[in-house]
Amino acid sequence: KKAERFEKLGLSKDLAKVLSKSDKVHMFDRFVKEFSEVKPSFIASILVSAIREIRRKYNINVDKLTEKEFEEIFKALNEGKINKDVIIDIIIDYASEKFVSMDKYKTALIDNLENEIKEIIKQKPGLSMGAYMGIIMGKYKGKVDGKKVMDFLKEIVK
């Protein structure tokens, strides 16, 4: 029944099944209610799949992370303070006891971003959208939303 309820929230059948057997069900339910700007499927994939991947890929013990740390991460994401691309890095830093502050992962300010894109285009005229995108995403390393960057590029490069 839990899995069916999760599927109705947009989770894949497999993710819903794994989550329903997980010890993170309570956390998931709470976060879905609390953080309406974050998709339930994304919350579930972080709580289940990303944790497993970090454990396997980086050999880091993520079991010591508490609900408080995950709450802080999803709260910052919900408020647009961080980009979802940096969440794995934040979890790794928390688990490795290297986490200092959410400021390290802050999303670049939109005004600065638009000016930065204009400056890059001025310095390197005639490049393709993909080239500009690569330069900008490389410079900000996950601190900007790729969709916003592309929207600005479409506006500016005509």
Report whether pLDDT(28) > 70: yes
pLDDT of residue 148: 79
d(CA 88, CA 46): 8
Burial status of residue 26 (CB atoms within 10 A of its CB: 0-12, 13-18, 19 or more):
exposed
Compute the mean pLDDT over every residue in the chain, rounded to the nearest whole number.
Answer: 88
Q: At what angle do helices 87-95 and 51-58 cross, to 10 degrees?
A: 60
Q: Are 60 and 90 in contact (CB under 8 A)?
A: no
Give the closest residue to 7 by CA, choosing from 51, 41, 38. Answer: 41
d(CA 53, CA 55): 5
pLDDT of residue 33: 97
d(CA 115, CA 140): 14
Give the 3-state secondary structure of residue 10: coil
Q: Are 156 and 113 in contact (CB under 8 A)?
A: no
* Banded pLDDT at 109 (limits 50, 70, 90): low
CB atoms within 10 A of CB 128: 9
4-28 mean pLDDT:
95
Q: Are 92 and 60 in contact (CB under 8 A)?
A: yes
Give the 3-state secondary structure of residue 80: coil
Structure token pair of residue 50: 């990303």
* Banded pLDDT at 107 (limits 50, 70, 90): low
Q: Are 82 and 107 in contact (CB under 8 A)?
A: yes
Residue for token pair 């819903």:
16
pLDDT in tens, 53-87: 999 999 999 988 999 999 999 999 998 888 888 89
* Banded pLDDT at 102 (limits 50, 70, 90): confident
